[in-house]
A = this chain, B = another copy of it.
Amino acid sequence: MNATAGDASRFADGAAYIDGQFMPLRDARIPITDWGYRRSDVTYDVVGVWDGAFFRLDDHLRRFRASMNSLRLAPRETDAEIRHILTECVRLSGLRNAYVAMDCLRGRAPPGKPLHPAYARNYLTAFAMPWVWVISPEVQQRGAHLVVAKVPRIAEASINPLVKNFHWGDLTQGLFEAFDRGADNCVLLDANGLVTEGPGFNVFSVANGKLVTPDHGALGGITLASVVELCAELGLEIAVRPLPVEEFLDADEVFLSTTAGGVMPVSRLEGRILNNDRPGPISTRMRDLFWAKRAQGWHATPVDYGVAAT
């Protein structure tokens, strides 16, 4: 833990922590033999830093610990230490708006032990890099164009979507389907034709002024939880229940939520044009309120930039 923010240029692209060591992001690498990569035996979380403050940091730390417990991953770092490590990555990078990731990897069974994950030493990595938009601000302005992918989402019985994971083969295939059809992004259905989620975001539909978001097959999004809070503030009704694709395709409005993007309106869905090809009124109100409250310090934990503050 000997890196300092003095060598700022080395940290310009971001700062990272790997199993006890801080380093520039460009040097942050994991062994090619690690099961975290070779078996995608890893969980992660991502917290946003906006205008120098974490958003819902404790919620992310809590979810990350629950994910690790679920997969029987136990790094040596405590939650308090992880909090410090994330802060240190942001401080070293000097970034005021950052995408901050934390991973816990399985590692690999040491020589002489059976080739079983129970014998591996798990370890933590983290990094802060310049803020990433899942959907760019320009696209958000006009509304995202979404397709319903043909590939079904990996079933919950096989991979629990509440445990944040890198099993993205189906989502990547959906992204190529969107690309081939000239759309920006995709949403996946489960085997029963119910809406689940998209690559890195939760999904909402609006019909007759009421919101619906799926009750299963999707990550328990922290931005989703924020949208639910904002519904109360806006006097909007929201139902968390199964969302059949037929109902979804017939919605008045659709929007998406994610850490790396907040509330993101959709203006085209499977070629259908919504709201005269613009973000809908409720999606827009939700998005505006989300960012207005963020600017007011809602659920914010200011980053202690220490001597590196500018």
Range, interface on chain A: 35 or more
Taking the complex as formed, is A309 at the interface, i.e. its CB lies under 8 A from any CB of chain B? no
Q: Are A117 and B152 in contact (CB under 8 A)?
A: no
Chain B nearest CB, measured from A64 CB (Å): 15
Chain B nearest CB, measured from A136 CB (Å): 7
Q: A28 with B28: in contact, given A151-B158, A168-B39 (CB under 8 Å)? A: no
- Interface centre among A28, A103, A166, by most chain B C-beta atoms within 10 angstroms, is A166
* Chain B residue at minimal CB-CB distance from A184: B114
Q: Are B166 and A39 in contact (CB under 8 A)?
A: yes
Give Cα distance in the complex from A265 to B158, angstroms. 27
Taking the complex as formed, is A252 at the interface, i.e. its CB lies under 8 A from any CB of chain B? no
Chain B residues near A32 (CB, 8 Å)? Answer: 16, 18, 25, 28-30, 103, 125, 127
Q: Are A157 and B115 in contact (CB under 8 A)?
A: no
Taking the complex as formed, is A243 at the interface, i.e. its CB lies under 8 A from any CB of chain B? no
Chain B residues near A165 (CB, 8 Å)? Answer: 169
Chain B nearest CB, measured from A83 CB (Å): 20
Chain B residues near A30 (CB, 8 Å)? Answer: 29-30, 32, 37
Chain B nearest CB, measured from A92 CB (Å): 15
Within 8 A of B (CB), among A165-219: 165-172, 175-176, 179, 191
Within 8 A of B (CB), among A108-166: 114-118, 125, 127, 129, 132-134, 136, 151-155, 157-159, 165-166
Chain B residues near A127 (CB, 8 Å)? Answer: 32-33
Taking the complex as formed, is A235 at the interface, i.e. its CB lies under 8 A from any CB of chain B? no
Taking the complex as formed, is A38 at the interface, i.e. its CB lies under 8 A from any CB of chain B? yes
Give Cα distance in the complex from A234 to B35, angstroms. 38
Q: Are B179 and A118 in contact (CB under 8 A)?
A: yes
Chain B residues near A16 (CB, 8 Å)? Answer: 32
Give Cα distance in the complex from A191 to B136, angstroms. 38
> Could you give, for residues 84-115 of chain A, a 1 whenever the CB lies within 8 Å of some chain B CB and a 0 otherwise?
00000000000000000001001000000011
Taking the complex as formed, is A6 at the interface, i.e. its CB lies under 8 A from any CB of chain B? no
> Could you give, for residues 36-60 of chain A, a 1 whenever the CB lies within 8 Å of some chain B CB and a 0 otherwise?
1111110010000000000000000
Known: A29-B30, A39-B166. 6 other contacts (CB 8 A): A33-B127, A37-B166, A39-B172, A41-B172, A115-B132, A117-B176
Interface residue ranges, A against B (CB under 8 Å)? 16, 18, 25, 28-33, 35-41, 44, 71-72, 103, 106, 114-118, 125, 127, 129, 132-134, 136, 151-155, 157-159, 165-172, 175-176, 179, 191
List 10 A-B pairs, minimum CB-CB distance, nearest first: A29-B29, A39-B168, A40-B40, A28-B32, A154-B158, A158-B170, A40-B166, A159-B169, A37-B37, A167-B167
